[in-house]
Chains A and B, each alone.
Chain A
């Protein structure tokens, strides 16, 4: 089955810095890669996703890049703000499968 590794487990940055979280996956058949943000005590919520026919996708201060050859995808947050502090989860799923495989999460702390 699919295996998703997520790094780092904790990331501490100063407000205004950039943050990068990386995930690697094992199954080359995976073709959908969502990222979820979970604030303390809240539900995970989708912030951005990418499909395997696209190499990069941006939405204001966040972007996701996908390298299918190396089987890794990354979340980039620019100009971080304290409200970006949360746990971020990556996931991967294959065409025809409705069971995503999640990474273990990255706790992002943005210091004012």
Chain B
């Protein structure tokens, strides 16, 4: 039982390049989330999904797109990377009961030059 798996773990991009961050969970969770973590800013929600085929915007969605084609996968895309998107990205998932904790992946460290 791997929990939440994120790939890649590290990536360096040039401004204007695109990439997709992959998140997979094997806990049959309905809800999945993408956060970014910057020094002193805590965890800020980018996008989230309440089930297969659904997505919704979080606190800081600009410059990102997401897709949830399969229940176990949640993809985060950067169409045209900017230096302001340099951050650590965490994927998380949680079950149907709203009073349940989130399970986080190990994070993706992304640098945009």
Contact = CB atoms under 8 A, between A and B. Distances in A.
A99 B45 contact: yes
B34 interface: no
> DSSP majority for the B interface?
loop
A43 B98 contact: no
Nearest to A100: B102
Contacts of A51: 99
A70 interface: no
Interface stretch (B19-27, B36-44, B64-72): B36-44
A93 interface: yes
A42 B94 CA distance: 19
Given A43-B104, A43-B107, A44-B90, A103 B42 contact: yes
Q: How large is the interface on A (under 10, 10 to 19, 20 to 34, 35 or more residues)?
A: 20 to 34
A42 B106 contact: yes
Q: How large is the interface on B (under 10, 10 to 19, 20 to 34, 35 or more residues)?
A: 20 to 34
B106 A43 contact: yes
A34 B45 CA distance: 17
Given A34-B101, A97-B98, A98-B50, A89 B107 contact: no
Nearest to B109: A41
A32 B98 contact: yes
The 7 closest A-B pairs by CB, nearest first: A104-B42, A46-B101, A32-B99, A43-B104, A34-B101, A98-B31, A102-B43
